[in-house]
Amino acid sequence: AAGNPAVVELVPTYRSLLVQYNPRENNYAEMSSFLNDLVSGLEDSPGSAAEPTFIELPVVYGGEDGPDIEAVAEHAGLSTEEVIEIHSGTGYRVYMIGFAPGFPYLGGLDERIACPRLKTPRTRVPAGSVGIAESQTGVYPNAGPGGWRLIGRTAVKLFDPHLTATDATQSPSLISPGSEVRFVPVKSHANV
């Protein structure tokens, strides 16, 4: 909602957009009118969305970095090499950021490697872990709990809480909704 100083933050999700605003700047009726006008303008100008940002993440697949890749391969009836080829063979649209700060929910996972979440989540998943849950893939930006099937890990820092979003050039998250992420297989994190 550019152009309205009352807008404090925008939080996109799969089907909605949370608009946080300062009610001292605009009351509810004013903000509602502003947003309705904005949406009407978008409907009248299809294709006006900004070009996505493209991000390539080097990933070490399997081994200690991807302890569940064999289970994903077995579930899919494929080899681990085929899982890697399929997973890294396409770009993924960032639908939303959620669950944890900077955690990207990536859509477009090939259904051949879709796999259910773990029955019992791990208490600690290393930062940079790449996982699969159902028809999505994602990357854990920080160490923490998680129930996704881990197939690899990137050494790229995805989230830095010391950066602020006050400067448009310094978002705390490397990845934002609408971006496109592509995973690039590497043999070791030294290649990064």
pLDDT tens, 4-14?
A: 888 888 777 77
Q: For residue 190, what pLDDT is reported?
A: 82
Classify residue 132 as exposed, middle or buried by CB count within 10 Å of its CB (0-12, 13-18, 19+). Answer: buried
On average, the pLDDT of the chain sits at 88
SS3 of residue 86 by DSSP? helix
Residue pair 121/146 in contact by the 8 Å Cβ criterion: yes
pLDDT at 108: 93
Q: pTM value?
A: 0.81
Length of the chain: 192
Question: Which residue positions in the chain have pLDDT lower than 50?
Answer: 168
pLDDT for 3: 73
Please report the pLDDT score of residue 50 as a whole number: 63
What is the pLDDT, as a whole number, of residue 123? 97
In the chain, what are the domains?
7-43 (no CATH), 54-191 (2.40.100.10)
